[in-house]
Structure formats: C-alpha cells, structure tokens
C-alpha cells in the first residue's frame, strides 16, 4: 500500500535533517626519523657549529661612542673566540662557516658546504671525545676567523639553509646532539625575492635608508629585511633534524625595536632558551621566570628574551661561556632525531625491547627523550660504560602536511 502523501513528506523532512559526524582523515604520508644510539654513563660531547656573520658592517666600531683607534666588531668577535678557545676548547666537537661568500660580483652570494675549506672548518665526525683533538679543532676555528676579511651583505636565511645539507651536522654519527651558534651584528637581508621599491621593504641599512633603492639594493644584492625567511630556515633545522640554533647578536644594529623583534623570532625558532637564576642574569629590561626547558630537556628558569645580546668583546665572551655551560647534557636525557609534532608518535626501544612512556620510564620534553631519574632505565644507563652501553633506538613519526 503506498504511503500517504503527508507521511512521505515527513519522512523526507526527517531524512533532510539528519546530521553526520565527520572525522578528520588520517595523513596520507609520514616522515619517520630514526636514530640508533649507545646509552652510557658519559654522554657524547655535542657538535657546536659556529655560523659567523662576516658582512661589511663587521668592520664598523663595536662601540660607536669611542673616538680614535676603536675596536671593530670583527676584532671583538675574534677576541671573544680567543677566550672561548682558551677556556672551553674541549667542550664540544666544533666547526664553523662564515657568510656571505660574497665574490666581488655579488655582495650577497651565500656560501655552501663546498666553501668549508675557504670560509670554515669541517666537523671532525670522530667517534672519540679526545680532548687534545677537540682543542686542536677549536684552534682551527679560531685560526680561520683570524684569516677572514669581512665584506658583503647578510644572507642569513640562505646560509642557514646550506647547513641543512651538511650531513655531519644534521645526521651526526654516534648520535651527538648538534647546535648552531649564529653570531651576527646585523639584520638578515639579501633575499632576491624582495623588491627595494616596495613599500613593504624595511631597509636594513639604518645609516642610509635610501640605499635599498640604489643598484646595490636591487636583486641579488637586496638589503630588505628577511626576518621571517630566516626564522623559517632555523625552524626547519630544528623540526626536521633536532638541530637547535643559538642566536647571538652584537653591535648597535640589533638594539632597536626591529632588531630585537627579528632576533627574538629567530632565537625562538631555534629552540634554545637562556638559563638564569635571577633577573640580573638576563640583562636590562628582561626577566627571569620559571617554565623554561634547556637543550637537555631539563626544567629551568629562563630569560624572557631568548637570544644573547652583547655590546663588546667582553660581553660576547661571557655569552659564549654561558652557552658552553648549557650544552652538556645528563646521560639520561637524549636528543631525538627530529622534533615530534605529537609526543604519542615517539617510540623508544632499549636492547631490542620497546619501552612505553610513563612515570617510571621516560617522557618527551621538547626535542628530547628524558628517562626518569630514579627509574630503572636511567639507573641502568648510569651503571654502564661506553664499552658496554645499552643499545637504544629512537623513532619519531611526523605527518607530512
């Protein structure tokens, strides 16, 4: 018997009012970072790679208020590195690359890793933490800095990008933690995509704003600010390879509001916080507050400002000393091969056995796996030696977006 017209209308109306619960579709592809590591009571010393700004402004005085015979910014940097080499030359496996490459035809040409012989020092890639060899490598870094003559622009973003192709840094043997120390006296520029004629261009040459509209300001020698591009390249290093970037700014070009904002964004992208005990440790107009995490996954009180700022060689040397003190990690805290987007997608295997996270085992803190201090695994690590370590495997699965 056919349904009455009214009943059929009610049924159609009810069908039209049905609701559906849509579930997010799982990602179609994943990026899995994998690392095998020996866990022992003595953690391997990290890689510490200096990315050094040798732009033309480094020839300017470190202190603009001085009279004759002023110390240049490059001389101040060299002096600070001399102090670091003499007091801290064995704390890490060091290397360096200066930027820009800047041939006479292009003041903004960035270096690539093929320029290490002329503009830098390669990481040693050694399995051994031999203090004599570490000191020799740090002395090589200092020697290279002494050889360099500053010139050119500040292609920071493209110089950071080059590091992503450097396997000893981003995929280090023996799973050492890797840090980049970016030492710069100016704002990043030299992005050929920027147009000096555009109203959106902020000219980084604070002494001559019109210079961005002269031939030197045209691509590829563009002096427009490239802060967001630089922060993005720094974030890529951390998110894909677990490499943290420590930003050190010095000179008057980074003291203004634009300089402070730009370097802070770069430092936050690098994932390195400045440890402190009181506001006095942080400098003028900065505060020390709880809630921070250091590079080893430890809870710390940290300065609100994430980058180090120095006005002279002494302050620059002090900044390097503070960095030295923050890169040595507890053996029960290990850097992951990539920064996880979701801690639930991290897996840990110890001596062939999967170990779940928990209050007695491990947790993810930032880009680190931290084994519970009084837990069984951490106690086993502390009881081992480099000759008979625990065998660990760390996996990080991140969805491709």
Same domain, 266 and 185: yes
Give pLDDT, residue 336. Answer: 86
pLDDT tens string 210-264: 666 655 444 545 788 899 999 999 999 999 999 999 999 988 778 888 999 999 9
pLDDT tens string 13-32: 434 444 445 555 565 688 89
Same domain, 101 and 244: yes
pLDDT band at 209 (very low <50, low <70, confident <90, very high): low
Please say if the pLDDT value at position 71 is more than 70.
Answer: yes
Tokens, residue 138 = 């740090």
Same domain, 254 and 342: no
280 within some domain: no
Same domain, 157 and 82: yes
Specify the range with the lowest mean pLDDT, choosing from 144-158, 185-199, 301-315.
Answer: 185-199
Please say if the pLDDT value at position 159 is more than 70.
Answer: yes
**Last residue of some domain: 279, 296, 326?**
326
Between 77 and 388, the more confident residue is 77
Same domain, 105 and 183: yes
Domain that holds residue 128: 45-271+306-326
Same domain, 244 and 374: no
289 within some domain: no
pLDDT tens string 357-379: 999 999 998 788 999 999 999 99
Buried b (16+ CB within 10 A) or exposed e, 353-375: eebebeeebbebbbbbbbbbeeb
Same domain, 342 and 262: no
154 within some domain: yes
**214 backbone φψ class: left, alpha, beta (φ>0; ψ -120 to 50):** beta
2 within some domain: no
Element (H, E) at 162: helix 156-163
Same domain, 353 and 391: yes
- CA–CA distance, 92 with 213 (Å, rounded to integer): 44
| Cα 171 → chain centroid | 14
CA distances in angstroms from 265 to 31, 41, 227, 229, 244, listed in the order given: 26, 36, 8, 11, 14
Between 380 and 401, the more confident residue is 380
291 within some domain: no
Tokens, residue 201 = 């261009």
20 within some domain: no
Same domain, 86 and 60: yes
Name the domain count of the chain: 2
286 within some domain: no
Same domain, 70 and 154: yes
362 within some domain: yes
- CA–CA distance, 83 with 87 (Å, rounded to integer): 6
Looking up residue 182, the CATH number of its domain turns out to be: 3.40.50.410
Same domain, 354 and 232: no
Calculate the average pLDDT of the chain: 86
- CA–CA distance, 385 with 38 (Å, rounded to integer): 10
Tokens, residue 341 = 């987007």
- CA–CA distance, 266 with 53 (Å, rounded to integer): 15
Give pLDDT, residue 224. Answer: 85
Give pLDDT, residue 44. Answer: 81
Same domain, 53 and 191: yes
């Amino acid at each position: 018997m056919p349904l009455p017209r009214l009943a059929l209308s009610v049924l159609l109306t009810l069908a039209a009012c049905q609701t559906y619960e849509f579930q997010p579709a799982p990602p179609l592809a994943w990026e899995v970072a994998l690392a095998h590591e020996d866990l022992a009571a003595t953690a391997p010393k990290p890689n510490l790679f200096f990315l050094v700004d040798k732009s033309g402004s480094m020839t300017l005085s470190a202190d603009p208020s001085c009279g004759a015979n002023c110390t240049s910014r490059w001389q101040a940097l060299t002096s600070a590195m001399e102090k670091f080499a003499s007091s801290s030359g064995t704390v890490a496996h060091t290397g360096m690359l200066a930027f820009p490459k800047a041939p006479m035809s292009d003041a903004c040409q960035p270096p690539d890793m093929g320029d290490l012989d002329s503009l830098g020092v390669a990481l040693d890639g050694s399995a051994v933490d031999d203090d004599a060899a570490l000191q020799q490598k740090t002395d090589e870094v200092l020697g290279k800095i002494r050889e360099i003559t500053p010139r050119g622009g500040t292609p920071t973003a493209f110089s950071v990008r080059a590091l992503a192709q450097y396997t000893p840094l981003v995929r280090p043997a023996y799973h050492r933690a890797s840090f980049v120390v970016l030492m710069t006296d100016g704002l990043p520029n030299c992005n050929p995509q920027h147009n000096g004629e555009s109203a959106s261009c902020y000219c980084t040459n604070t002494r001559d704003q019109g210079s961005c509209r002269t031939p030197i300001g045209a691509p590829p020698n563009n002096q427009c600010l490239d802060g967001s591009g630089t922060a993005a390249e720094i974030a890529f290093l951390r998110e894909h390879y677990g490499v943290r970037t420590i930003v050190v700014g010095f000179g008057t070009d980074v003291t203004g509001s634009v300089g402070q904002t730009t370097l802070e964004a770069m430092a936050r992208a690098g994932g390195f916080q400045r440890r402190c005990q009181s506001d006095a440790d942080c400098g003028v107009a900065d505060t020390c507050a709880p809630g921070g995490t250091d590079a080893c996954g430890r809870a710390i009180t940290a300065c609100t400002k994430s980058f180090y700022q120095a006005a002279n060689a002494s302050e620059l040397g002090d900044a390097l000393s503070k960095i030295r003190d923050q890169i040595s990690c507890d053996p029960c805290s290990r850097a992951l091969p990539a920064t996880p987007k979701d801690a639930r997608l991290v897996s840990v295997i110890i001596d062939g056995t999967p170990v779940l996270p928990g209050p007695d085992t491990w947790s993810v803190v930032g880009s680190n796996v931290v084994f519970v201090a009084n837990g069984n695994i951490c106690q086993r690590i502390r009881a081992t030696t480099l000759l008979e370590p625990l065998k660990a495997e760390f996996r990080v699965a991140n969805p491709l977006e």
